[in-house]
Structure 1
Amino acid sequence: MASGLARRLGTGDAVVVGLSAMIGAGVFAAFAPAASIAGRWLPAALALAAVVAYCNATSSARLAARHPESGGTYVYGRRRLGPFWGYLAGWGFVVGKTASCAAMALTFGTYVAPGLAVPLAVGAVVALTVLNLYGVQRSAMAARIIVALVLAVLAAVAVAGFTGGQAPTATAGELHPAGLWDVLQAAGLLFFAFAGYARIATLGEEVRDPERTIPRAIPLALGITLAVYTLVALATLRVLGPARLGLSPAPLVDTVVWAGAGWLAPVVGAGAAVAALGALLALILGVSRTTFAMARERDLPGFLDAVHPVRRVPHRAEAAVAAVVIVLVLAVDLRGAIGFSSFGVLVYYAVANASALRLGPDEGAPPRAVPLVGLALCLVLAFTLPSESVVAGLVVFALGGLWWVWRRHVRAPG
């Protein structure tokens, strides 16, 4: 009997998996901070974020085919560039996605009850961590239900936005037109809304004809996601205008209210809350597993390398991730969490693109322009993010680098 996974998924199935990973709570959270920077150039920033996502996903897919191991770019960097670069990618993933957890928790709280956003966010982190500790995971069917719900909500927002009324013009924040730097900065924040696209790259053992299916599924899923996001962005801009959109804590709810479809507001709020909880559950699972993998290699403290004897989950890693997420929820706002998350994840994918440049023609290397453009844009977007996000990111990466140097060259015997 074959020991590999069953190859049951076609192109359509892979596209659905990609959509379920991408079309989530990010669209409910990222538009406002991006609009406050890019103004009416929000759709251009969105398109640029999609280009970066395409390059990153393509490079990741080719690397996953050559290195079918758990760990993603943490593994690719170690294999192709050396141990430090793999560690840097893993560190970027852990810190970036931990900030994503905080952003999703705050998104949940903001859409449920803005005045109680922080305590609700903390409660969500605690509740989902407890579920994970008992081995409860979101199933593929649940993921499809969530993406269907979110697509329905976004369709309702777009229809209301294009057919309804408009809010009174707000001029604050529109005194100076956005330039190229603003578009780049907004694209870095909107990159957050595409998080999850590389999920397609992990399907190599479960799709039919993966060499053809995965390269087809990635642009299809990204294209559909970009089309949906663009429609929602145009609808929200039409109703709210860039200034009001940039200041809104719950922009999609405000869109339907000002459009004259206030009866949709509870539906939109519920859709955002469900999407945020689904994303938060998946993020906690992913970050804790990467933390566990890095602890096993002693790239993170070894006490995190522990599996519960009964439930067979990395309980210490999950508890540690939850504790850090709660600290972030209490210390930063939603915009700060999104910016910090984007910085960490952009560094992670910069390493992925650099690793893909080391693939040879006989290893399924992508066209060289793809990882080159992806690497360049990842670095550009990372360093054009809001200054507080860049500074915080550099400090955290410096601390991570010092830990690596100390562990390898100071603590290590001999």
Structure 2
Amino acid sequence: MWEIIEPVTKYLFMLFALQSILPNRFNRAAETAGTFLYGVTVMVIINQITKLPSLMLYSYFIFLTLLLFTALLWAAVFTKDSLKLALPYICFYINFILCIRVFSESITNSNLLSMGIAVLFLAMTNLFFYKNRITELVYVTRTQYGVFLVSACALFVSYELWREFFSIEPNRMLWAAPCHYCMNLLMLYLVTTTVREYQEVIQLGVISKKREAELAEIDVHAGLVQQCYYIRHEFKNICFHMQVLLKEKKYEELDKLIAKYAGEKLEYHDVVNTGNRLVDALLSQKIREARMHGINIVTKVLLSEALPLSDEEVSTVLTNLIDNAMEASEKETDRDIRVEMTSAKGLLQVTVRNKVSYDVMEKNPDLRTTKREARFHGIGLSIIRDVVKRHNGKMEYGMNGDYFVVNLYL
């Protein structure tokens, strides 16, 4: 009986640690009950498999392999789209289980006392996991994820080498096990801290974009006020000039003067009026930036009062899509961008088109950034995909004639 209680307990500690980290699909009570039943059932089956005579020689590695894959299966069943995030955490936790088991069994011959020590260390491990968790991989680069996963695997290999080396004198593992336990803690802390700090930098960049839009709105309205003062001052002079020409019956000059001022365009500080202040500010700012770079930009926006996205999400989506279109247009001779937004009944569609002279999908199907600071600029599409995913939306992109088109349905 004791042979099954010990592995079941440790396995349940691992599953509950994952439950505290990964995003949940069900309510907490149902998930906890399901996790408990799953853990007990799976570990009983694993225990029986490893006792088969034909597998006894490799039972240790078979046990670890089944531990890994059944934990991944739990993540696939009980959490939402977090299998990739679960993998490095499971690898780290298996390392912790191995170190704790060897240490607790080396320090005492009493099964009960050994189990008590193991439970204490497992509880501390779960708390450490909760305090040093990554809840999503949206802002995590491939390199960071690779370091996260490889570090867990490297520590496992290191531990196995020490275990093999000290197999003749098991008492020495009393010191090797806690050392590797601390190494696991240190590596997990360093990796997760680095990733979280990187995430904060990216999130601050998103907030900064929103603040820039708000400042741009203030700047646009200030420019309009200044322009109104200028027009008011000039209008008096123009009227006086017209009166003089009219009294002197210089009709040709008067006609030219009227034609001149009637044909003038206000090229700066154009304001978009969609009914949404944030969208107005963002589009007004981007229109001005596009014209400064010689890019023709046309907007067609029809919005209801409430959008299904938060201000941060609206800022992120619009800024990244239009910036990407402007960046691509700067390399073209025929520069043209079309932005369309429509919303109705809680649904939002955003379409951004930019004219290109080549097939983007053929040359760059993964839409990887060509900017020098790729680690910052390349994150834009990942953030947009996360927003789409969060709202159960859809993102499509491809060529339509001479235009590269991105469609979002939210």
Using the size of structure 1 for normalisation, the TM-score is 0.24
Bigger helix fraction: 1
Higher relative contact order (CA 8 A, sep 6+): 1
Using the size of structure 2 for normalisation, the TM-score is 0.24
In our comparison, the structure showing a higher alpha carbon Rg is: 2
